[in-house]
Amino acid sequence: MTTVPQSWQSVWEDSIKHSSLNHGQTGFSERERLNMIAEVSLRNNGDRLYQTDPKKKAELDEEINRLRRFINKESSVLDIGAGYGRVAIPLSKEVEKMTVVEPAHPFMNRLKDDARQEEANNIEFAEVLWSDFHLQEKYDLVYSSWSPAVGNPAALMKMHEASRGYCALELGATPQQKQEFFGQVYPFVTGENFRPTGNYLNILTTLYEHGIYANLEIREYESEIKHESMERTLSSWKALLEYYANTNGKTEVLLREFYRSRMNSDCTYTIPLIKGASCMLWWKV
């Protein structure tokens, strides 16, 4: 009997099918889940960390620099999953036209407010899921930065289709199970291991299977995370849990138990030095 080898795309599709995201049965729509995450993110980071924290600002500058090689003053750019515009707004000042796709209403509101304050008048806004965005033109650069929007083969190939020049994806390269929430908090509360929808290798190999030879740039980093407040941390963890799984009356009790078991005497919680990696995938169309 001859065994037909599984395609790279089907490997990714299989990971998505059996992931925690598709088995959580939260009862919320994708838009509702994204709105919850956005609301908590803005509440916990209302001080605009990328403007006030020198380290965060330097990281953002480096990220924008990696995209500058694909654009010029006449470029049209599409940002998929723009968040509150931390990349889109400064990059829009260097191109002719910027289109942002962002389905989360809290993020879009903040994006529009900041764009108005920064006089970024060349930005077009689309408050829709990437899957619902109607392509009417092709762009010189199509990118997505730290967003779950390009999270399956169909979304990836739509991204490729939208470009007439370059595509770029910025995302994590460290396995999610090695991260605090997915590797420790999620199993502690749900009683089961977290199953991811895939990783950057699924994207790379799926592109390869479609005859697209992407460049991969890996960057290693070291960081120490400190949680300054139990309530702020718990709100973030709870929002993430509601994105992936059903929560109940015991959820917050378990989250507080997890936090307290690792809490410092001043009620902060420090995660020791973490070694990880992020990456950029980019290709010419």
Q: Is the pLDDT reported for residue 259 higher than 80?
A: yes
- Torsional sign, CA 139, 108, 230, 27: negative
Q: Contact at 8 Å (CB) between 255 and 231?
A: no
Specify the DSSP class assigned to residue 130.
G
Q: Contact at 8 Å (CB) between 60 and 50?
A: yes
pLDDT in tens, 24-37: 766 788 999 999 99
pLDDT in tens, 174-192: 999 889 999 999 999 999 9
Which domains, ranges and CATH numbers included, belong to the chain?
8-175+194-222+277-284 (3.40.50.150)
Type of residue at 152: N
Q: Is the pLDDT reported for residue 48 higher than 90?
A: no
Which residue, among 270, 186, 242, has the nearest Cα to 34 in the 3D structure?
242
DSSP secondary structure string, 151-192?
-SHHHHHHHHHTEEEEEEEEEE-S-GGGSHIIIIIHHHHHSS
Q: Is the pLDDT reported for residue 51 higher than 70?
A: no
Q: Contact at 8 Å (CB) between 69 and 166?
A: no
